[in-house]
Amino acid sequence: MILGATNAPVTTMEWTMSHLLNNLNALEKIKAELDFHVGHDKLLEEADLPKLQDPKLWAEATSFKPERFENGKKFEGYYKMLPFGLGRRSCPGMDLGHRIVGLALGSLIHCFEWKRVGLEKIDMSEGKSLNLLKAKPLQALCRARKIAKKLL
């Protein structure tokens, strides 16, 4: 149970950072939103998360388009994706998982400048495992932003 509780958020963050590094415009939009809503005088906190989540859903779910959260359609009573299950058999750590991934990804993007190691895009092929690991682990370069130098 502990392995699942730690592996799933880490895998989710690795895939998300991989997508963002292949879509630098989306990464810049996220950074700008964090700078606007959180600012440069404090680190991202749990209380900041609702300001960053858009309750609208998206079309073209198979393509990576973070901007879909700006103008998506309203939810009509059914979940389009059930990563934590539903009902009696749903994951008891769902709320914690959402918070951990949101805070960790937000903090990584808010505090560091990210770029790919080379010019080529990040390999997005899947490995052979039950947890949908990447075939090649993510390797990226990061540099502390001014906010990290100031607050850390």
DSSP symbols for 6-67:
HHHHHHHHHHHHHHHHH-HHHHHHHHHHHHHHT-SSS---GGGHHHH----B-S-TTS--GG
Q: Does 142 show up as a binding residue in the annotation?
A: no
Are the C-beta atoms of 21 and 115 separated by less than 8 Å? Answer: yes
How far apart, in whole angstroms, are the C-alpha atoms of residue 50 and residue 55? 10
Please give the annotated binding residues, written as ranges: 91
Residues of each annotated binding site for heme: 91
